[in-house]
């Protein structure tokens, strides 16, 4: 089991505030989370990352003391930084959030999108070998007419379907991965057309997932927590790239606007 004096001291500090810290769970599939006076840190993380995540989740706790309704509203930069002029601060926090390289979910989606886009281009080229006028942005009648005469028509909308037409007749399972086996009369262009439609759907799902994650990471609550995490893990970079946010933060920190954060940072942050 990993152990570190600083990490244990951090947990002790939080425990003194009545926060329960669990380090032996999978944190509900996340690296960590804070809820109802409890912080979970994923047991699969290395020690240094555990400390960074603990700082991040502690920042969420502090935020609840600044804005008690943050769990419902996701917070506001106006109340966090006690100013109406948050434009520059918000942009700096965006820059910190998206430049630290600690959003593995977005990085994974980005890599998948590149692969899927490459697959789509490859399938497009193969189809154009037989149909030079093919355009993947619209339904292509010469191929779809053939497909729609068979059960493969369902695969134009779904990657996997179960079909049961009449009582007593076993249901049939069709998948985009088994097109050649289930529809041996289809030529390669028809098969590739169905696979292309599947990959296009996958790309749309990935884009929607990325958009949802970006909305999450742009919430004031998440921007603040990542800012505090960055001050712990990379203070010089954070001060340099978020000068306005840092200057205002330090003013408010010294005014005790962020409960317990001054004491915590004096003990564990490294300038």
* pLDDT tens digits, 74-128: 999 999 999 999 999 999 999 998 875 567 788 899 999 999 999 999 999 999 9
Beta bridge partners of 41: 32
pLDDT at 27: 67
Total-model pTM: 0.79
Determine contact, residues 54/41, Cβ cutoff 8 Å. Answer: yes
Beta bridge partners of 8: none
pLDDT in tens, 178-196: 999 999 999 999 999 999 9
The DSSP annotation for 139-173 comes to: --HHHHHHHTTSGGGGGGT-SEEEE--STTSPPEE
Beta bridge partners of 130: none
- CA geometry: angle 12, 69, 32, nearest 5 deg: 40
- Compute the average pLDDT of residues 140-154: 96
Q: Could you give phi then psi for residue 157, rounded to 5 degrees?
A: -120, -25
Distance CA 193, CA 128 (A): 10
Give the pairing type, strands 32-35 and 20-25.
Answer: unpaired
Task: Tell me the pLDDT of the chain averaged across its residues.
Answer: 93
Q: Where are the domains of the chain?
A: 5-101+219-268, 106-215
Helices (H), the chain: 5-16, 47-66, 70-73, 77-81, 87-99, 104-128, 141-147, 179-182, 188-217, 220-233, 235-241, 243-254, 261-268
Cα torsion through 156, 158, 160, 162, rounded to 10:
-90
Per-residue pLDDT band at 30 (split at 50, 70, 90): confident
pLDDT in tens, 194-242: 999 999 999 999 999 999 999 999 999 999 999 999 999 999 999 999 9
Determine contact, residues 103/271, Cβ cutoff 8 Å. Answer: no
Per-residue pLDDT band at 1 (split at 50, 70, 90): very low
Which candidate, 5, 42, 40, 39, places its Cα nearest to that of 19?
Answer: 39
Q: CA–CA distance from 262 to each of 3, 98, 99, 197 (Å)?
A: 25, 25, 25, 54
- Compute the average pLDDT of residues 30-56: 92
């Amino acid at each position: 089991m990993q152990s570190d004096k600083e990490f244990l001291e951090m947990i002790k500090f939080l425990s003194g505030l009545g926060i329960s810290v669990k380090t032996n769970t999978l944190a509900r599939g996340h690296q960590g989370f804070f809820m109802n006076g409890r912080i979970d840190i994923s047991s699969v993380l290395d020690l240094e990352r555990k400390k960074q995540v603990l700082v991040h989740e502690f920042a969420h706790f502090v935020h609840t003391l600044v804005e008690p309704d943050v769990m419902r509203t996701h917070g506001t930069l106006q109340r966090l930084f006690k100013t109406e002029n948050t434009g520059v601060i918000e942009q700096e926090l965006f820059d910190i959030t998206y430049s630290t390289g600690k959003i593995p979910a977005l990085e994974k989606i980005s890599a998948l999108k590149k692969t899927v886009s490459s697959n789509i281009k490859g399938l497009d080229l193969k189809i154009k070998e037989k149909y030079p006028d093919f355009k993947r942005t619209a339904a292509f009648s010469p191929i779809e007419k053939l497909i729609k005469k068979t059960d493969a028509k369902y695969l134009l909308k779904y990657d996997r379907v179960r079909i049961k037409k009449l009582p007593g007749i076993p249901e049939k399972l069709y998948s985009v991965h088994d097109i050649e086996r289930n529809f041996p009369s289809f030529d390669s262009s028809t098969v590739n057309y169905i696979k292309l439609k599947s990959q296009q759907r996958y790309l749309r799902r990935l884009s929607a997932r990325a958009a949802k994650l970006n909305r999450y990471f742009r919430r004031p609550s998440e921007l603040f927590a990542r800012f505090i995490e960055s001050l712990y893990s990379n203070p010089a970079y954070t001060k340099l790239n978020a000068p306005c946010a840092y200057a205002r933060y330090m003013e408010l920190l010294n005014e005790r606007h962020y409960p317990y954060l001054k004491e915590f940072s004096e003990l564990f942050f490294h300038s």
